[in-house]
Amino acid sequence: MVCDRCVEVVRAELERLGLHPVRIVLGEAEFASPLSETELSALDAALRAHGFERIDDRRGRLVERVKTLLITLVHREEPLPVNLSAYLSEAVGLDYGYLSTLFSEATGVTVERYFIAQKIERVKELLTYDELTLSEIAFRLGYSSVSHLSAQFKKVTGVTPSSYKRSGAHGRCPLDKVGIS
């Protein structure tokens, strides 16, 4: 689950199945007691129908937690923290080296590349809305300058932010598909 709408879809499916989570947030649903095999099968089918999947192993859950943290971080209103590795380490409670290796093995990309891809997708979104200047976008997303943002944007998309905005061809990618090879 990578957005609030995803959470609502999952919540609706859980209610439809008569499953009542104690807590549901981006990427996680917690139940008071373990689900039966029958309930898990029904849940898996319901999730697949919406393009989701249940991740039941610790390593997979950890990778999804990192993805969710990064997506949430990129979409917050305040400027991004400076030290990504320290932020993730503290948020997850594990060594960044371990998180980074696990993430790369599971996804085929580094945490940094995934984060950059998410940031660029966010820049596209903000450019489309046309409510912030490029300077404001750069500041919000933790870029040291507009030129740094522009260079990274061009490297990832092949066009400058200004060209992207002028083109009107706003090719966007679903958040759960951004940055994964």
Give 93-110 pLDDT, tens digit per residue: 999 999 999 999 999 999
Give 73-91 pLDDT, tens digit per residue: 999 888 877 799 999 999 9
CATH 1.10.10.60, the chain: domain bounds? 59-167
Q: What is the 8-class DSSP label of residue 28?
A: E
Letter for the amino acid at 113? R
Give 109-162 pLDDT, tens digit per residue: 999 999 999 999 999 999 988 899 999 999 999 999 999 999 999 999 999 999
pLDDT of residue 30: 85
C-alpha angle with apex 64: 105 to 148, nearest 5 degrees? 75
Distance of alpha carbon 152 from alpha carbon 116, whole angstroms: 8
Contacts 24+ apart (CB under 8 A), 135-142: 137/161, 139/79, 140/77, 140/78, 140/79, 140/80, 141/74, 141/79, 141/80, 142/79, 142/80, 142/81, 142/82
pLDDT of residue 177: 60
pLDDT band at 54 (very low <50, low <70, confident <90, very high): confident
| Better pLDDT: 70 or 170 | 70
Residue 181 in this model has a pLDDT that exceeds 70: no
- Average confidence score pLDDT of the chain: 87
pLDDT of residue 158: 92
The count of residues in the chain is: 181
Q: Any idea which fold 59-167 has?
A: Arc Repressor Mutant, subunit A (1.10.10)
Structure tokens at 145: 């300058």
Alpha carbon separation from 168 to 134, 158, 161, 172 (Å, rounded): 16, 15, 11, 12
Residue 1 in this model has a pLDDT that exceeds 50: no
- pTM over cut 0.75: no
pLDDT band at 176 (very low <50, low <70, confident <90, very high): low
Structure tokens at 142: 């933790």
Give 5-53 pLDDT, tens digit per residue: 888 888 899 999 998 889 887 667 888 888 899 998 998 898 889 888 7
